[in-house]
Structure formats: C-alpha cells, structure tokens
Amino acid sequence: MKTIVIHAPEDLRIEDREALPPGPGEVKVRIAAGGICGSDLHYFNHGGFGNVRLREPMILGHEVAGHITELGEGVSGLAVGESVAVSPSRPCHSCRFCAEGMYNQCLNMRFYGSAMPFPHIQGAFRQELVVDAAQCAPAGGLSVNEAAMAEPLAVALHATRQAGPMLGKRVLVTGCGPIGVLCILAARRAGAAEIVATDLTSFTLEKAADCGADTVINMATTPDGLGPFEAGKGTFDVLYECTGASPALAGGIAALRPGGIIVQLGLGGDMTVPVQSITAKELQLRGSFRFHEEFFTGVELMRKGLINVKPLITQQVALEDAEAGFRIANDRTKAMKVQIAF
C-alpha cells in the first residue's frame, strides 16, 4: 500500500509499506479521505513544532475516514463496507490519567502521526489502516470528506467543554483557520449569543462569517479593530485563542471582561502571557489539548445535520499530488481544509 511519509522539512515522499491483516478486536479500513492538519504542516514546513522534532521518517496524518474492508475476530456492531470516521485517539486505558477519565492526557497515548514519543507514532495517511474497532465511528449519511472532519471538530468540541456553559455568552475567536472556524460552529451550537472573530486574511474571515460569526475583524488592515470591545474593562465572556501567537492572546485578554475565560488551543510554542492583566481581571486561563469522547459526539452532530462542516473543505488532491496539497494548505489566502483522496 502507498503511504505519505515525512523525512525532513519539505522532504515528503510517497512510499510503499506492508498492509497488515486485522487482529482480534480490530478492523481494516480502506482510507478514502484524509485532511491535512496544522500539525502535519508544521512537520512539513519545519520538521516539528516547539520541542517536538522529527527524529525518524514518519507517516503523517490523523484526520481520516474510509470504509471497512475486513473484520477481525470478535468484532461486532460494524460491517464490511460500512463508512466510518477513524478516531486517532488511542489511550492505554491503564495509566493513572486514563483511570481518572482524562484520556487525552494518557501517559502512553498512541496518537497517529505524532513525533512526541520516540519511536514516533506512525500516522494514518495510508491506503489501508488497521484500527481498534472502538476507534470507528459509523458515518452513514455523511460523505467521506465530511467524516474526515470529525477529528478537528472534536478539538473544537473539547475546547467548548473546557470553556464551560456557553448559553448567552459573548465570544471572541482569535485565528480563523479550521480549528477557529469549527470553534465558531461549536460555540453557536452550545448557545453563544454573539461571536466575534479575528484573523489576518480576508479569505479565512469570509469562512468565519459564512459559518456564523456575527462580526469579523481583519487585524492586518484594522490593527485596532478590537478597541471598541476593550471599553469598560472589556466585553467578552470567553476567548478561544486558536493562533498560538502572543499578540493575539494579549489582544484577546484586553477585550475580555473581568471573570472571563481564556481557552488556549493554539500551539505556537512558548508564548508571552500578560499575567498582570489576567490577575487584575481575575481571568481564568484554561488549556485545551486534543479530545477523546468528543470525536463520536462530533460525528453524531454532523450526521444529524446540527453542524455543517462542508464549507470548510476547500480543496481535494489525489494521493500522488500530496506534496502539492501541502503547499496549497500553506496558503491561507485560498485554503481552509485541504484533503487527500486515497
């Protein structure tokens, strides 16, 4: 089978790897669609992010969906030919954090396409993938392209859970890449009354408006655009910070009202944090990292028509054109979510 392997920055190769049969409790999935994530782009552009660096060739990818082609011994509730979204979250279920139900903090997490541990956890950008049956979310009624959006949607749903009650809240989203726009959809579904979104490109802000943002602000052309929201100690109840950039965080904090909540999703490496403002306004800073059970919730929300991710899927490329797809995904003036057809 063909796989997409990163060897070093901008050294992306399509390589043949052995396809394995499913074992007990496993299924084999013929991958149909895979989305290029921000972390995939970090590996492609820079060989990693923060302290996470490539130390060996690694198959990329963790946003995938496809069709079951083979069932392992003892698998029930799934069928050959069934369309599924595949969760990349594979906790060990035996460490102390798993015992506490904090599966996204698992000490032995095997998350597809991650260079955090060594040897690296090989990813899901391959034509055939053997997975635990428990990773499969039935996706009947969705296109494979929609089903492959379950992973980034789960990130946004987990962040919304971290933010707490959303009904009637005024929300600011900084950064309108796929995660930021999905946070807009999640916050609206959770009952947010007003959503303002900021970014640096008109294309991403148009997508944010299409997906429900009440107001969008281009910080490149209007750097003081959040000024009116800073009056009277601030306006917003919740900040989804999706850029990982210190200026975005500082600007968002200035526009938060006292007692507001910051949900930090962006992973841009170490950031300068305005601690004095957080202290004086009695703000709460909450991290949000990956997800677990929210993956299956996201698939159900899409299947029921309660969240529509189709506007975010902007391009699709063939497997043999994967490198071109990565380069398109780097251009935020025309790409939101680029997917690979396997």
Per-residue exposure over 44-78, b if at least 16 CB sit within 10 Å of its own CB, e if not: beebbbeebebeeebbbbbbbbbbbeebbeebeee
- The fold for domain 155-287 equals Rossmann fold (3.40.50)
For the segment 102-118, what is each residue's pLDDT rounded down to a tens digit?
A: 999 999 999 999 999 99
Topology match between the domains 2-149+309-341 and 155-287: no
The token duo for 257 is: 């009202």
Average pLDDT score over residue span 289-293: 94
Does 269 have pLDDT greater than 80? no
Query: How far is Cα 156 from Cα 297, in angstroms, rounded to an integer?
Result: 11
Q: Output the 3-class SS for 25-89.
A: CEEEEEEEEEECCHHHHHHHHHCEECCEECCCCEECCCEEEEEEEEECCCCCCCCCCCEEEECCC
Q: How confident is the model at residue 72 (pLDDT cuts 50, 70, 90)?
A: very high
For the segment 5-31, what is each residue's pLDDT rounded down to a tens digit?
A: 999 999 999 999 999 999 999 999 999
Average pLDDT score over residue span 250-269: 94
Percent of the chain scored above 90 by pLDDT?
A: 97
Write out the DSSP string of 271-301: ----HHHHHHTT-EEEE----STHHHHHHHH
The whole-model pTM stands at 0.96
In CATH, what is the architecture of 2-149+309-341?
A: Alpha-Beta Complex (3.90)
Q: How confident is the model at residue 330 (pLDDT cuts 50, 70, 90)?
A: very high
For the segment 172-220, what is each residue's pLDDT rounded down to a tens digit?
A: 999 999 999 999 999 999 999 999 999 999 999 999 999 999 999 999 9
Q: How confident is the model at residue 268 (pLDDT cuts 50, 70, 90)?
A: confident
pLDDT at 295: 98
Provide the residue ranges of all domains of the chain, joining segments of one domain with +.
2-149+309-341, 155-287
Q: How confident is the model at residue 271 (pLDDT cuts 50, 70, 90)?
A: confident
If you search the block for the tokens 């969906």, which residue do you land on?
65
